[in-house]
Amino acid sequence: MTFSRDRVEEIASTLAANGLILRGGFSFGADEVAPAAGSGAPAKSVLLVGQAGAAPWPYFQRWLGQQVEPTANPLDTWSREVIGQVAQAFGARAVSPSDRPYLPFQHWAMRAERLKPSPLGILMHPTYGLWHAYRGALLFENEISPPEVHEAIHLCDICVEKPCLKSCPVDAYSGQGFAHEACLGHVRGPRGEPCRSGGCLDRNACPFGTDYRYPPEVQAFHMAAFAKL
């Protein structure tokens, strides 16, 4: 049985109640080792769930304000809760980008929405630029009719100046991968205040998707989580 496009639309509307969106999907090939669906059998298909810009932030904040106990990794906890409910309603198994062992979310995203990595490693989206992320995925026992994706130009290919490679004070993105330790040392140090309060300077230097750029408070939240501040 194929999961109809109407059903996929229904999932999208349910997710929208929390500012989340579908980020494409695909069917696993017969020769692939797919993660388990709800029954434990290998999933036949997957839909990715994520965000464009900071749309889920107000919903997450409202939820956070209602928590009596402090929650470790609150954004992950909220995402698991919300996406878990959607999975239950639609007969899917929900998985998280934080599940161990790590599931290949970026790999799935490249396949689902035909995205390519920016020089920063973060995937470049034709509309959202670098301002998007994945909050979970839904694994199905059936085939699905995934949302349509249109072929789009990879914006990094037309970007001549590449300001994303020139704005970091410690040159964490040298083109040779991400210098994780150098980045952390700077962000945590005396000159890291601009990164701590406003987010990664290289990411912010990207000229694309600026309408979707996360507000400083959201960037500060992610930076604090990333650098364990």
Q: Which residues bind ligand B12 (CB under 6 A)?
A: 97-98, 102-107, 117, 120-123, 132-134, 178, 180, 222, 226
Measure the CA–CA gap between 44 and 140, rounded to whole angstroms: 6
CB of 159 to ligand B12, least distance (A): 15
Cβ contacts of 70 within 8 Å, gap of 6 or more: none
CB atoms within 10 A of CB 19: 18
CB of 123 to ligand B12, least distance (A): 4
Residue 91 or 185 with smaller CB distance to ligand B12: 185
CB of 4 to ligand B12, least distance (A): 28
Residue 37 or 156 with smaller CB distance to ligand B12: 156
Measure the CA–CA gap between 156 and 118, rounded to whole angstroms: 6
For 92-130, the DSSP string reads: -EEE-TT-SSPP-HHHHHHHHH--EE-TTSSEEBTTTBT
Measure the CA–CA gap between 129 and 79, rounded to whole angstroms: 22
Residue 37 or 130 with smaller CB distance to ligand B12: 130
Residue 3 or 25 with smaller CB distance to ligand B12: 25
Q: Report the DSSP pairing between strands 143-144 and 2-3.
A: parallel
CB of 21 to ligand B12, least distance (A): 13
Residue 4 or 224 with smaller CB distance to ligand B12: 224
Q: Are 176 and 36 in contact (CB under 8 A)?
A: no
CB of 143 to ligand B12, least distance (A): 22
